[in-house]
Every structure is written in structure tokens, then in C-alpha cells.
């Protein structure tokens, strides 16, 4: 790895912000289904924690619609336990559709790892089982 020469050295990401159309629907997805914890909410903003990472949900500005694939590619979330098949079964039981890998981006399905789903606003989420990178 090359020696760092930047003026400012970063220590990691603090949070990622997603614009959402319906805060309660999005909270049900991220808190109720994926088990993240709300730690701060105010003025159309909801900050969630998962492990040492943070995800912020901001209500879309008036007259704007939040949509997936326009702001970024995807978020990869580590899942604490379960096999890929067990996680897929839980998602299916919860009524969450599974995406083929590469869906929606104009590139063909890939041999990538993890399970892809969309949140209520169409943001693509990659769920990584504990053994995702073992193969």
C-alpha cells in the first residue's frame, strides 16, 4: 500500500444519508426488518445505528422524489448471523423481493457475493452473510 501523503487523514465514514419518500415505511424496513436502531430523530431526519456504522434517512425535499440508482450504486450491510439461504427465506417471508445481482444498473447478473434487495424507495441494498467473503 502506498504511503499516505494527503493533508488531511480520514479515520473512517461517519454516516451515509439516503433520501426517502415515506419515513415510517423506511424505518419499518431498516429498523423492523434489518434490525438497525434509531438513535436520533428530528425535523424529517432519522439517524440509525448498525454496529459502529450509521445510516441517516432524510425525507425527500418538497416536490422531489427519492429514487434508487440516481444518487449512488448500493449500500453493503453485514448481517450478523445466518446463511445466504436462511436470510433469503426471511426476506421472502417478509415480502421483500430479491434482485438478481446487477439488476437495475444496465449490467448483467454477476457472480458477486451477497443478497440484493431494494428498500421502499428503490435504493439497492447488498446484504452480506457472515461467510460472504469466505469462498
* pLDDT tens readout for residues 55-89: 999 998 888 888 776 667 788 898 988 899 999 99
CB 79 within 8 A of CB 36: no
pLDDT given for residue 75 in this prediction? 87
Residue 114 is given by DSSP the state S
Q: Is residue 92 part of a domain?
A: yes
**What CATH number should be reported for the domain holding residue 86?**
3.10.180.10
Residue among 52, 40, 47, 99 nearest 77 (CA): 52
Q: Is residue 1 situated within a structural domain?
A: no
User: Do the domain assignments include residue 36?
Assistant: yes
Task: Give the domain range for residue 43.
Answer: 16-128
Average pLDDT (106-110) is 54
What is the pLDDT of the chain when averaged over all its residues? 83
> Per the domain annotation, does 123 fall within a domain?
yes
Amino acid at each position: 500500500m502506498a504511503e499516505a501523503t494527503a493533508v488531511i487523514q480520514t479515520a473512517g465514514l461517519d454516516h451515509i444519508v439516503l433520501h426517502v419518500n415515506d419515513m415510517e415505511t423506511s424505518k419499518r424496513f431498516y429498523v423492523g426488518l434489518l434490525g438497525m436502531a434509531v438513535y436520533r430523530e428530528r425535523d424529517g431526519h432519522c439517524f440509525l445505528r448498525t454496529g459502529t456504522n450509521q445510516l441517516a434517512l432524510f425525507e425527500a425535499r418538497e416536490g422531489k422524489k427519492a429514487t434508487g440508482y440516481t444518487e449512488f450504486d448500493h449500500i453493503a450491510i453485514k448481517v450478523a448471523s445466518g446463511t445466504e439461504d436462511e436470510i433469503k427465506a426471511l426476506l421472502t417471508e417478509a415480502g421483500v423481493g430479491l434482485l438478481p445481482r446487477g439488476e437495475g444498473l444496465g449490467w448483467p447478473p454477476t457472480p458477486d457475493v451477497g443478497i440484493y434487495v431494494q428498500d421502499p424507495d428503490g435504493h439497492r441494498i447488498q446484504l452480506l452473510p457472515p461467510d460472504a467473503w469466505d469462498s
